[in-house]
Structure formats: C-alpha cells, structure tokens
Chain A
C-alpha cells in the first residue's frame, strides 16, 4: 500500500520502546502474586504485555498456559496483536479474553457440568427486550404501577423498571431466591412501610420544646419509644435492617443527651437553634428544615429508611418478573451478559473448577478496579499456585455504580493472597506535568484514599503553550451553558493563531469529555453552527436528519401504510417536488400503490418518480425473503442513500448499522418486521445505559472533534481535552435505586445503613474527574463556575455542631450532596494555569472561518451563507437574470493567499494527482471535497471495488511480512482474519487470487527486509510522506524496492515518479545503496514483476521535477484542470470539466 496511513489495527512492534525503570522491574520480577497500582498514562497495558512476552520468550512458558483478561474486545485484540508483532505466531496462541468472553468459553466447554445446553446463545439487547415484555404480567403489581409506557414512552414504565432492577441485582450476583428470603412475604414489607412515619411522629410528639433543656427532658421518652419500635422488629432480612436503623437512631438520641447535658452544665457551647436538631434529624418537622437550620444540611434521617423500604416494596413486586425473566432465558436457551459471569463463577465453585483452572499457569488481569464481586471470585478461582498478576488503578474506579467493587483491587486482594507483592507505576508518558500536578492535587481531596500515587511525567517533549486552562461560565443569560465559549476555544485551537498555543490542532486531536450527556447537547449545536466536524460516541447519539431518513426507509418498508415515512423518503432521497408529493397523497389509494401504479405523465418530474418506483418495487420484493441485514445492505446499495448524507450523518449512521447487524438470533436473522421498528423506537429509552459499561469502548474519529462521556473515554488520550460545566450542581453526587437493598443482600442486613451512598458517589465523582483530566496530553480546558456561597456564619455553626455530635454509627454528614468541585479545582490550580475566559473563550484570534467577498463587499461567513440561500431562492423563482463577474462569491481563504496556506503533506499519490489534474488534486487533497454522486448501477467488475481488493491485499502482505509467514496458506489465513476484522469478506476471493499470483513469482521466495516502511522526505522545504510496500533482498544480494499493484492499470516505468521517490527516500533509510525498484502486478494483468534501476542523475531530475510541482501546488487553485483519460478514475468526474463520455468508474483513487 503506497501512501496511506497505517491502518488502526496494525500491530506496531514496540521494539524501539525501552521500558522505564519502574516498568522494567515489574517486567523482570518473578514475584507472584503481584499487584500493580498503575496511574493514568503510565503504560500499564504495555508493561503487562511485556511481562507476558518475557514469560514466553525467556522463561519458555507456553503461550496457551497464559490467560490474560481485559474488559474490552479491543483491549484483548490489541494485546494479542502486540504479542504477535513481537513474538510472531506464538503471540496469537495466548488466551486473551474479556472477563465476559472467558466465561462464555468456559461455559461452552463445560456446558454439561454447568447444567446448560451446549448450544446456548448470549442474549442480545433485542432478545432481552422481547423477554421483558413477555414477562410483564408476572410482576405482582402492588407498589409498582402496571403502566408499560406513559407520556414519555417506555422510559418510566414497568418494562424499564424491571430491566433496571434485573441489571442491578444480577451484576451483584443476587438471585430472585435471595431477594425472596431477604424480603419475606409482602405483608412483612408492608409492615415496615409506615415505620419512618411512626418515628417522625415520635419526634413530633416529644421534641417540640423550645430550649435545649426542655428538649433534653424529652429525649429519654424518645429513646424509650424508639426502643419499643426496635424490639417489635424481627432479627433477620429486611426487619434486621430496619432494626439496625432504629438502633442507630437510638445511638443518635444518646449522643444528643450527652451533648445537651454538657451544654446544661456549661461544659459545652451550642449554637442557637441547636435544640431543634433532634426533631429535625428524626424528620419531626412536616415541612423540612425549620428556621435556623440550614436547608442544605440535608439530614432528615428517616428519609433513608423510607427510600430503603420503598425500594424493597418495588423489589417485592418486580422479583416475580425477575424470576420469570430467568426462566424465560433458560427456556429459550439464552444467557444474558451478566448471567455469563454468574454461571461461570458457579461452575468454578463446583468440582470441575480445579480442572478448568489447571488449563492455565498464569493469570493476568487488566483494569482490575472495574471488576465486580463475581468477577473477583471468578479470577481468584482461575488462579493456580498464586500465579496472578493484577494491574489497575483505584483512582480510576468509575464503575462502582454499575456494580464494580473498588475494594477488589485493594482490601479484597490483600485478604485473598497473603504474599502479595506491590509494585507502583507512576511514571506517566502522556500528559504534560502541569496537567498531572492538577490531577495529583485534585485526587488528594478524595477521603478514604488508601494508596497514594503521584504521577510524574517522563521524557517530556518540548512544548511551548498553555497546558491547563480554565474558562469561567458566563453569568449572563446569553450563553448560560457556555457552548459559545467552547466553540470559540475550539475555533482557536484549530486555527492555532493564538500565542498561548504551541501549535494548531486538528479536530481529531480534540476531545470534549462530558459528565452527563446533556452537557454535550448545546455544544453539538454550537459546533454544527460553526461547521466544526465532530463525532459523538454511541451513547450520546443525537437526532440526525440523514439517519432519520434511512430509518424512515426501513419503517416504510416494514409498514407500507406508514405514509409519513414514505413522504420523508420521497422528499429527502428522491427530491420529489411538492406538486408530485401532493399527487401521490391525493386519492384514497395507499400512497405506495399510487407510487407504483400511477401513469408517469401525471407527474411534473416523472424521472424521479420512476427511480423511486424501481427502488421501492425491488426492495419490497426483497423484504420478505431477505434477512434484515441483507435488506439493509440492499437498501443502501440500490438507493445509494448514503451519498445524500453529510459526513457527519454518515458517521452517525454507524450506530444504526450496528443495531441492524445485532438484531435477531445468531443463526438466521429474521426479515424486516414491525417488531424491529418497535424495538428501534424503544431501545433508546430502555437501554439508555448500554454502552455505559466498562465493556465497550468507542471508535475514535481522527478527523472530527470526539465527543463522549468521561466514562467512555477511559483508556483513551487526546492532545486536547475539554471538560464542560464543572459546577457543583452539575457534578452533584446522588444515591441510586437499590443501593441499600443491594448492600443488604450482598453484605448482610446490618450493613444496609453502614455507608452513605451519596458520599460514596461523591468519591466516585472525584475519580471520574481524575479520569477526565488525565486523558489530556497537551492542553486541558476546564469550564466551570463557582457556587454561590450564601451560608451564613450561624448555619456553619449548626453544621459543625452536627458533625461533632453525630455518633460513629450515623454515616450521613452535613452537606453530603454538595461537591464543591470548581472551588476545589481553583484551589488545586498552580500559578501557571491560564484563564481563557476573556481570551481564547471569548474571541477568535485571527480570521477563523475566513470571510467572503461578494458584489464588492466583505461578508461574514454567516452573512455569506444567507446570501447564497437568498440567491438560490431567487434563482429557483427566476428572479436572477444575469450573473456578472463581480457577483461571484469570492472565498478568500480558498482563492487567495490571504493567510498562511494550510500545511500540506505531499505524497506520491497526491503529486500524481496534481500532475494529472490540478483541480482534482485541489478537491481531494486541499479542501477534501466529498466525492460525486455515483450511480451504483453502472459499476464495472462486480460489486467489489478494486480499491477494496487492493487495500486488503496490501494489508495481508504487510502482516505476512511482519509475522514472517512465507507460505501461501499463512497468507490465506491472514487474509481471512483481516477480511472478517475489516468486514471486507466480499473482497476475499479476489484477494486470494492475488495471493495465488504472488506465489507464482520468484519474488515470493526472496528475503523480505522491510514491509510497509514509512518515510518522510524533505525536498526544498516541502514534506513528502509515504509508505514503501516492501523491500526485498534478491538472491544476488541486491535490495529491491517493490510496490504491489492489485489493479488492472499498467504503470509506465519510464514516466512514473513513484519508484524514484521511494529510491530517494531509501537514501536515508539503508546503509547500503538501493538503486532498483519495480512494480509487482498481482491483479488480472499479472503475475509479473517489472523493475528497473535508476541512476543518481535520474533521481536528481525527478527530485527537481517534484520540487517544482510542490511549489506550484502551494498556489492552491480550483480553476486549472486537465481533462483526459484519467477522468474516468476521478471522484469528481460529474463536474463539467470531465469529458461527457465518462461517468465514474470503480477504480478511482486506487
């Protein structure tokens, strides 16, 4: 592959990376079990891979005796690729799995022992959705309302409640039986329903005194009443939890007695109004905090009992649904994602557990802080002889809310393994030190942080610009969400004009990481307005017009009576005019019948009607027979609908692609049906947290600003990170449904009220912030606002008094739900931090976006856009008569060198393109124009493009060289794997033919010196980059540069400049002279190798010639073009410059 970049999956050998000292000692150590608490960006995966590599390479451990566990498929694949790159084929033999896929593997192998049908499948979201709907009638509706949906769709209905409940319980390994045992019969739970009210009555009845002494006198009566309540409660399950709660209140009353007595004897001072506290804490005031008690104290303790009992009442109803869901899964021979771990952990606990564990000698675990309790049990049961290596970061534990058990990596490991060796990893390779300083400083605010790590940057590159910048959210109403500020910041980052910046950044360098989805919405709109490209990671999907049109096509095909969808397609895809749409909608016949049957002469634009008719007829025929997946592909092929989408919309479409791909059973996918459309509509509301798990990681855009939640960004890094809306309100911690119930069921009845779940969430929120900060390499931009501090001194006194009086068994503290995150940021900032509020967040530096001249005046981009629309409107209504020369819109940034030219990297292909036609070069390499519409009916050479074949063949050749795989079968194998990986199965047969041809050549027997070697050639101040496909050593001991050609196009060895460019590049790369280069044809016109030698003077002549071309290219122009044969390959051959005879061929951009 000549000039393209490395594909993302490409295994890059890390030979030239020398481990840092901390990494080295971990890699070389033979101490097991070992725990590495590794800070962000310290190369923990690298270290783990190296350690595995050392075991295989130096200690002769067989790769298949090593089990490596990670959270995402990407991570498992990448680990395998890295080991393969270093160790060759042996690297592929290592058992690298995700925590879920290892369970799937074990259960498949030991299905009978696990009591499963060996043909079980893993349930998809769609199947879970179907089962949940099926079992709704099993729920015992008493407390839960039976409405399946309401005004907001399915989001708040019974189906959604049940799914959430099942998820919460299952992830903690809690079964329906456990819940039944804990709760007991409904009467028992209802018996507790008014306990909190009775406690409030006790407080209200006794504690109305208006001084410390009168309240003190009443406290014994309260204690006695509470004791009676406690004694009436049972001692197991839910009653034990309630009993424990009342006991804690009795402790509280005793603490108040002590404090008030001390006050009465003059030993202790209490603030005014302190006498109101006992009544307030016990919920005795009907309308919340009375005068003198701060509202944000947030300590009406009976609320905690109330919410726990309320969760139990919900659970009592839903549990029957949970049990039915489990039965249904089993009947359909399905296991859901959470169930995999439950079943596997159970199996490991059985007699075969030992046999399974004996398959591996070493177990390596990545991201261990994200494991849940069951995964911990699973891992420990897989370990033999204590050969466990665990790496993770307790400061990056951000999935506690989804069941992760943070203590797994700390206390639980300590308890499970006596001889645990700890090694630190604190040397960071990612971020500039000021960013790390902020991260280090901010994380110290975390209470109960047991292990302290301090991140230090090593090998910090030269950098001259701001690293940490803050932006204060505006006070006025014009930009309350600060979206305009962030848009301005990004515009400045892209232009790079400001002195505070080291360089200009590409959109793909920048990430907007949000705490909540809603923080992204206004920014997306601002980016859209400013034309800033962005890509939103899965769980933030926004409404996309283009995706809506594709979805409408599916809806219309599934339900032909849905005329709204037909109208949508006919307007947006077929561009029917209003008159024709009205004709179609008129009359009593269904629209689709009129579309297919009405005489064409009834329409203003019969051509469009006819096109739509052909497509619809064909697709309706395909609908009933084809699988959804196939129909969807046909839909895209026949209608070419993607051409009508913007780049942004094409990116957005990926999500629909995945849903279609996933739909249905694994064996035979059903055809498109109304149920699929239903599930499309309800998916989002029911599975809003799917994707928010540690098991999925988004694809990162290289050409657009990446927008995702901080949770999704874990494990990724970006040169610039923006975190919006860092305010106490937006980052406020909260408790979640079933927190207390889950604790009771896993830790025991008396633990339910042992912890404040809001405080726990506050800790997690700080870790989320830490993860966000540590994603940044060069620049971290934090946007936030200080909280209003309106507490007065008296209120502070009350809060302090409460803190002092509360006994140890009361976990709730004043102001628990307030996390002063922005105040903390400001405290932790170093003096070097920049404030961009009035600079880069306020105005653009330089003329961002350019300006446009029209009719002699200078217009802003916005005004020019409006002008274009006005002109278009005038032209359609026939109001424009003549176009004069000065009415041309003149875009300075495109037509004149008014500002520094965009920096261009040249490549052989771009130069060749320029020589063929300056306009095509301009469109493809300067402004990156989108390709022309092409009619798919007019392709040559079947459905597979030559380009796809070429790409896959090149990839195969590269991997084969890197894996040292000289045999045809090995090339086949690599081809099959890559085709499946890249979803390029269609190209595989043709690629295999190319491989066959390659192996007919003598070349196949030569030694390969280099493959896919990247070079950078500097010629007269211009940069030329590229990749050399391969360098071979011939039997005559001569080096031969080879470029593979899988296409039908023949190259002229005398004229083409590609080979001499490679030889010029080789001058710096090899110690010995390289003078011979050639093309290796493996396509239809092969097999053959055509090569020749180049003299120094020939090379110098080529150098002069390309230097001249590159100088010319600097004068970017659209106006010059050359028409010719090459137009048939051009992506823009629908422009008038192309000879009429050409329409676009498939071999473009070869």
Chain B
C-alpha cells in the first residue's frame, strides 16, 4: 500500500481509518480457494491417485464454500451460484486428474500457510506463503491468485526502475517484486530449507481464463489457470527491488507519508483508493482548482 501511495498507507495502517467494506465478496472467495488448496495439500500424500486428489478437492471446495461464503454479500442468489460455479471450475481445472497442475502441487507440498521472515540491512520483511513444493533441486514457493493479469512479468519488469525513479507508478508490480523477495529469501530461514537448495517463486492464477457457455437449460462455466514465475526477474532486478524495499521501509519507519510525486500518484491511485473521499492531498487539489 505504501508503494501505491504513502498517504493511503498513512490512512490505512498508521491511522487505521475504518473504510466501509466494498471488496468483502472477492476477499471471501480468495479465502475459499486458498483454504481449499491448503486442505487438499495437507491431506495429500505424494503417491495419492490423481482422481482421489480431484475428488478431495471438489469435496473440500464444497465444504469451505459452505463455511466461508456469506450469502448476504451477494445481491442475488443467482450471483452467488454463478460465482461458486466459477470458483469451482477454477478448482476443478487446477486439480484436473488428467494433467492438472494442482495434482503436482498437492503431491509435492511440504508446507502450507507458512509465515516467513527475512532481514537485510536491518530491514525486516515478513509474509505468508500459500504453498511450498519440494522440487528435485530445492523449493518452489507458490502464491495463489484469482488471476495474474497485469502482474509482474519479464516484459514488464523494467517498469520497476521507473517506479524507483518516480517516473512510473507500478505499485502492483512492485508489490509482486516485494512478495518475490520476501518469499525467496524468507523460505531460506525455514527448517525445511537445506543449504544449496534452489529456491523459486511463482504466482498461480486459478481463474486466468474463464468461459461462459450458454445452453437452453442453463449455463456452463469452465476455467483455466497457469503460473507466472518471477524468480529470474528477482535475480535480474535484485538491486532495484531491494532499493524499492529500502525506500518503502525507511519511508514507513520515518513516517514520511507525503504523496510524491503527487501528479503521478493522484492520476494512478486516487480512483481506486478507499480513502480518496477524505484525502486532504486530493481534495486540496480539487478545491484549489
């Protein structure tokens, strides 16, 4: 949030101003697929049959949906049913017994929902890892997302330099870089890490592609997911990423909340900010105009 706008961080974290909930619905859905994957991975052994894993996943999805979904968050039942179908399709495709990535993730998972921490130059970072896989060469950390659209990629990694220089506003990709750094470094402090292990990190978008098929008796939803690995980007842009982390860390600890450069931040961040309506920096602009 600090990378998005220091003032937003001030309101959201430093002053902890309570904003009306608007994204409850998607937060809940995130909780549901995360909980499903966690439960499946925890329950799966390396030689479990793919069909068994798939059935387990769908069963666990049904249970977690039941537990976490709040119908009051939806304006209609039909909306809820549709969102359920979409998420179920994502889980179904992920744990497809015929080559679904999730089968592999479940079989090789050695830890889920782990808090990891790392420190560099006195600046500590921590975060929660969704899943850690044991690979032939070491560890592969996975962070599950609804989709990976607009996230850090080899094509867009150069934007990080722009953000650092104050010429571009790329908070989402900066956040992806922060996550990558935290997980790649943090996992090395865990008990399951052994010296010399290769550590990798990927995002996985469960609903990267969804399709809605209409039939006379109803509709079908199908989904497809894929991963986006950022390990190499982290290595290539190591200095930039750690400079970004330093900037944010020092800004927060020194309570530097002035949104600079303002023109860029206001153009990029204000429209999506839940504190925009109370933001003195933004309103002062408007009032002055």
Given known contacts A528-B289, A564-B20, is B278 in contact with A571 (CB within 8 Å)?
yes
Residues of B within 8 A of A548 (CB): 277
- Whether A312 is near chain B, meaning CB under 8 Å from some CB there, is no
Smallest Cβ-Cβ distance to B285: which chain A residue:
A545
Contact check, A545 vs B287: say whether CB atoms are below 8 A apart. yes
Asked if A146 and B283 make an inter-chain contact with CB atoms under 8 angstroms apart, the answer reads no
Q: Chain A residues near B81 (CB, 8 Å)? A: 146
Report chain A residues within 8 Å CB of B79.
136, 146-148, 158
User: How many residue pairs, one in A and one in B, have C-beta atoms under 8 Å apart?
Assistant: 99
Residues of A within 8 A of B216 (CB): 142, 185-187, 189-190
Give A172-188 as 1s and 0s: 1 = Cβ < 8 Å from B's Cβ atoms.
Answer: 00000000000001110
B253 within 8 A of A: no
Q: A546-582: contact bitstring with B at CB < 8 Å (1 yes, 0 no)? A: 0010001001000101111101100110000010001
| CB contact under 8 A between A582 and B215, given known A145-B82, A564-B274 | no
Contact B278 A141 (CB under 8 A): no
- Asked if B78 contacts A139 (CB within 8 A), the reply is yes
Q: Across the interface, do B75 and A136 meet the contact criterion of CB distance under 8 Å? A: yes
Residue among A141, A146, A559, A572 facing the most chain B CB atoms (10 A cut-off) = A146
Report the separation of the CA atoms of residues A795 and B114 in the bound assembly, to the nearest whole angstrom.
66
The reply to whether the CB of A590 lies closer than 8 angstroms to some CB of chain B is yes
Residues in B with CB closer than 8 Å to A552 are 277-278
CA distance A528 to B18 in the complex (A): 33
Cβ B289 vs Cβ A568 within 8 A: no
In the complex, A141 Cα to B289 Cα: how many Å? 47
- Interface residue A586 (Cβ < 8 Å from any Cβ of B): yes
Known contacts A136-B78, A529-B289, A565-B277; A143 and B214 CB within 8 A of each other:
yes
Q: Does A137 have its Cβ within 8 Å of any Cβ on chain B?
A: yes
Measured between beta carbons, the chain B residues less than 8 angstroms from A185 are 216
Residues of A within 8 A of B83 (CB): 147
> How far is it, in angstroms, between the C-alpha of A968 and the C-alpha of B175 when the chains are bound?
77
Given A133-B75, A142-B216, verify A585-B15 contact (CB < 8 Å): yes
- Is B17 a contact of A567 with CB atoms below 8 Å? yes
Q: Contact between B19 and A564 (Cβ–Cβ < 8 Å)?
A: yes
A145 CB contacts on chain B under 8 angstroms: 82, 212, 219
| Contact between chains at B217 and A142 (CB < 8 Å) | yes
- A residues less than 8 Å from B280 (CB atoms): 571, 578
Could you give, for residues 6-29 of chain B, a 1 whenever the CB lies within 8 Å of some chain A CB and a 0 otherwise?
000001000111111000000000
Expressed in whole angstroms, the Cα–Cα distance for A147 and B81 within the complex equals: 10
Are A133's CB and B278's CB within 8 A? no
In the complex, what residues of B have CB within 8 A of residue A555's CB? 20
- For the complex, what is the distance from the CA of A535 to the CA of B217, rounded to whole Å? 51
Contact of B78 with A141 in the complex, beta carbons under 8 Å? yes
Closest Cβ–Cβ distance, residue A162 to chain B (whole Å): 11
B71-85 vs A: 1/0 string, CB under 8 Å?
000111111011100
State A1086–B17 Cα separation when bound (angstroms): 59
Does A149 interact with chain B (Cβ within 8 Å)? yes
* Residue of A149, A187, A562 most packed against chain B (CB within 10 A): A562
With an 8 A cutoff between CB atoms, is A313 at the interface? yes
What B residues does A186 contact at CB under 8 A? Answer: 216-217
**In the assembled complex, which residues on chain A have CB atoms less than 8 Å from the CB atom of B214?**
142-143, 190, 313
**Contact among A137, A141, A562 for B20, CB-based, below 8 A:** A562
- A571 to B289 alpha-carbon distance, docked (Å): 18
Query: In the complex, what's the smallest C-beta–C-beta distance from B189 to chain A, in angstroms?
Result: 32
The complex places the Cα of A585 from the Cα of B275 at a distance, in Å, of 13
How extensive is the interface on chain B, given as a class? Answer: 20 to 34
Q: With CB as the reference atom, state the residue of chain B lying closest to A562.
A: B20
- Tell me, yes or no, whether B286 is within 8 Å of chain A by CB: yes
A37 within 8 A of B: no
- Is B288 part of the binding interface, using a Cβ–Cβ cutoff of 8 Å? yes
A586→B15 contact, CB < 8 A? yes
Contacts of A568 in B (CB 8 A): 277-278
- Determine whether A591 belongs to the interface, using a CB cutoff of 8 Å to chain B: yes
Cβ contacts under 8 Å, B278 to chain A? 552, 564-565, 567-568, 571
Within 8 A of A (CB), among B21-80: 74-79
- Chain B 259-287 near chain A by CB (<8 Å), digits 1 or 0: 00000000000000011011010010011
Partner of A545, one of B16, B274, B283: B283
**Residues from 69 to 121 in B contacting A, C-beta threshold 8 Å:** 74-79, 81-83
Q: Are A146 and B82 in contact (CB under 8 A)?
A: yes
User: A612 at the A/B interface (Cβ < 8 Å)?
Assistant: no
Please determine whether B277 and A147 come into contact, CB atoms closer than 8 angstroms: no
Contact B215 A561 (CB under 8 A): no
Name the contact of A563 in the complex, choosing from B19, B74, B76, B212 (C-beta under 8 A): B19
Which residues of chain B have C-beta atoms less than 8 A from A158's C-beta?
76, 78-79
Query: B150: CB under 8 A from chain A?
Result: no
A869 at the interface (CB under 8 A from B): yes
Please indicate the chain B residues that have their CB under 8 angstroms from the CB of A578 in the complex: 280
A136-171 contacts to B, CB under 8 A, are: 136-137, 139, 141-143, 145-149, 158-159
A563 to B12, CA, bound (A): 11
Partner of A562, one of B15, B18, B218, B219: B18
Q: How far is the CA of A567 from the CA of B286 in the complex (A)?
A: 17
Instruction: Give the distance in Å from the alpha carbon of A555 to the alpha carbon of B218 in the complex.
Output: 40
| 1/0 contact string of B214-234 vs chain A (CB within 8 Å) | 111111000000000000000
Say whether B275 contacts A148, CB under 8 Å. Answer: no
Contact status B277-A564, CB under 8 Å:
yes
Assess A159 versus B75: contact at CB under 8 Å? Given A561-B18, A563-B19, A578-B280: yes
**Distance to closest chain B CB from A522 (angstroms):** 14
What is the chain B residue whose CB lies nearest that of A525? Answer: B289
A residues in contact with B275, CB < 8 Å:
564
Chain A residues within 8 Å of B287, by CB: 545
Measured CA separation A348–B84 after assembly (Å): 50
- Complex CA–CA separation, A869 to B218 (angstroms): 62
Contacts of B82 in A (CB 8 A): 141, 145-147
Interface residues of A in 573-604 (CB under 8 A from B): 578, 582, 585-586, 590-591
**Residue from B20, B74, B217, B286 in contact with A148 in the complex, judged by beta carbons closer than 8 Å:** B74
Q: How far is the CB of A1124 from chain B (nearest CB, A)?
A: 36
How far does the alpha carbon of A171 sit from the alpha carbon of B107 in the complex, in Å? 60
Q: Do A148 and B75 form a contact, CB below 8 Å, given A562-B19, A564-B277, A586-B15?
A: yes
Bound: A158/B79 CA distance, A: 9
Q: How far is it, in angstroms, between the C-alpha of A565 and the C-alpha of B218 when the chains are bound?
A: 43
A641 → B minimal CB distance (Å): 15
Least Cβ–Cβ distance between A915 and chain B, in angstroms: 38
With beta carbons under 8 angstroms apart, the residue of A137, A142, A567 that contacts B218 is: A142
In the bound complex, CA of A540 to CA of B19 (Å): 28
A869–B20 Cα gap in the complex (Å)?
Answer: 34
| Bound form: Cα–Cα A585–B13 in Å | 11
A1091 to B215, CA, bound (A): 89
B19 CB, min distance to chain A CBs, angstroms = 5
Contact A141 B219, beta carbon cutoff 8 Å: yes
**Which residues of B lie under 8 Å from residue A590 when comparing CB positions?**
18
The smallest beta-carbon distance between B283 and chain A, in angstroms, is: 6
Chain B residues contacting A545 (CB-CB under 8 Å) are 283, 286-287
Q: Please state if A585 and B17 are interface contacts (CB–CB under 8 Å).
A: yes
User: A585 CA to B14 CA in the complex, in Å?
Assistant: 9
Residue on B nearest A140 in the bound complex, by CB: B218
What residue in chain A is nearest B19 (Cβ atoms)?
A564
Q: How far is the CB of A1074 from chain B (nearest CB, A)?
A: 54
A747-779, CB under 8 A of B: which get 1 and which 0? 000000000000000000000000000000000
Knowing that A148-B74, A564-B17, A567-B11 are A-B contacts, what are 5 other residue pairs whose CB atoms are under 8 Å apart, sorted by A's residue number?
A: A136-B76, A159-B75, A186-B217, A552-B277, A571-B283
Q: List 29 A-B contacts (CB under 8 A).
A: A136-B79, A141-B78, A141-B218, A141-B219, A142-B214, A143-B219, A145-B82, A145-B219, A146-B76, A147-B83, A148-B76, A189-B216, A190-B214, A313-B214, A548-B277, A555-B20, A559-B20, A562-B19, A563-B17, A563-B18, A564-B19, A564-B20, A564-B274, A567-B11, A567-B278, A571-B278, A571-B280, A578-B280, A591-B17
Across the A-B interface, the 10 shortest Cβ-Cβ residue pairs: A136-B76, A567-B278, A146-B82, A146-B78, A148-B75, A585-B15, A563-B18, A568-B278, A186-B216, A190-B216
